[in-house]
Amino acid sequence: MKVLVIGSGGREHALCWKIAQSPLVDELYCAPGNGGIVEDATCVNLENIEQMLDFARAEQIDLTVVGPEGPLTEGIVDIFEAAGLRIFGPNKAAARLEGSKAFAKEVMAEFGIPTAAFGVFNEPQAALDFIEQADFDVVVKADGLAAGKGVIVCDDKQQAIDAVREIMVDQAYGAAGASVVIEERLIGEEASFLAICDGEIVLPLASSQDHKAVFDGDTGPNTGGMGAYSPAPVLDEASYQLVMERVLYPLVKGLKSQGITFKGVIYAGIMMTAKGPQVLEFNARFGDPETQPLLSRLESDLVPVLMSVADGTGLKGVELKWTAGPAVCVVLASGGYPGSIEKGKVISGLEAANAVEGVKVFHAGTKAAADEVITSGGRVLGVTALGADLEQALARAYQATAKIGFEGMHYRKDIGQKAIRRMKQ
């Protein structure tokens, strides 16, 4: 069969790498791909959904897998399905769960899904008044898509006021900040809970934990993610079941009652609080960088699972097998990220890094240029390693990281330390 993957990041490299291993797949394409995906798939430069549709028709693509949230919220699934093409991902109505934080919060409130107290505001003054009256610390979020950067966790009222002005007045995130969600700041440890859904059945993936802040110790501005590991000890078996029972099942059932059938990946950002798991946000696709360690641990063939959702046969009876050992991903970023960056920096040491036992370097913001690989984005590489235990996986990932170099490269040195501390308690 022929498969097309949409996207160009580390998540898409991991998807292509895993899909290429399937004996069902004869030809694999990625649009537009990156400097590492070219090793696993034929990269094609398709700039919009219309071109993607034309390509899928012309090449008789059997399955399209959508990586990033942008095409999903633009309705690529609706368009492909209307043309009779199989595609994995939620339709436009379901993808609104990620495309509008306000919509997601309203859904959670309606169906009793545990989440922080919140308000939605379309005018700056109303948002500022809410902050002045709040008797709790807040988080200010741009309502729309902002590549993981439109969330500002505030330590005091002045920071919250500045956040509203940055998002709504200065329009730092463009149209995504036309309205904001302001919610109570939850205290606890964050985890990522991903599941594949066929509209009714929810098939959970292994647990994982992302590292959103750019600097060690969870300091600095939020990013798209600076590293991840799986499994996440903060989500024990009891918590895992609570998330299924109180979050995912009510969500899927509730959306269906509104005429929205969710087919694809549901990603719940969970804060483990003293009151139990509470939802920070929903995403409607595989996480990045969580996908890198998750797919490194997945022993099952991913393609039949994706096909069963895309073709409507469903997930009944489907089980996933995982390696017992954990996996960890350390993101190497360009200088200045998550702010302005310089591109075109030559990357060295990739071959040596990939030679480290248990390591796979997934490309994100890279481009192949002549005989070199150069930087082309904020998050450049995801150095991912398997190990018998988390200490070994971390040691391998950082050993490989030390072999890679490019001008301005920076990364967090404390990926996985929360899990290490928790396991020693």
DSSP for 191-229, written as a single string: EEEEEEEESS-EEE---BEE--EEEGGGEEEE-S-SEEE
- What is the total residue count of the chain? 425
Structure tokens at 402: 């030390």
pLDDT at 380: 98
- pLDDT, one tens digit per residue, over 114-150 is 999 999 999 999 999 999 999 999 999 999 988 767 8
Same CATH fold, 189-310 and 123-178? no
Please give the helix or strand (H or E) that residue 247 lies within, else none: none
> What pLDDT, on the 0 to 100 scale, is given for residue 106?
95
pLDDT in tens, 172-207: 899 999 999 999 999 999 999 999 999 999 999 999
Q: Which pLDDT value is given to residue 408?
A: 97
Q: Assign domain 2-91 one CATH number from 3.40.50.20, 3.90.1150.10, 1.10.10.10, 1.10.287.80.
A: 3.40.50.20
CATH of domain 189-310: 3.30.470.20
**What confidence score (pLDDT) does residue 201 get?**
96
Which parts of the chain have pLDDT scores under 70?
Answer: 148
| pTM of the shown model | 0.94
Say if CB 305 and CB 299 are below 8 A apart. Answer: no
Looking at every residue in the chain, the average pLDDT score rounds to 95
Note the CATH number of domain 123-178: 3.30.1490.20
The percent of residues in the chain predicted with pLDDT above 90, rounded, is 93
The domain limits of the chain are 2-91, 123-178, 189-310, 327-424
Domain 327-424: give its CATH code. Answer: 3.90.600.10
Cβ contacts of residue 87 below 8 Å, gap of 6+? 63, 64, 65, 66, 76, 77, 80, 81, 310
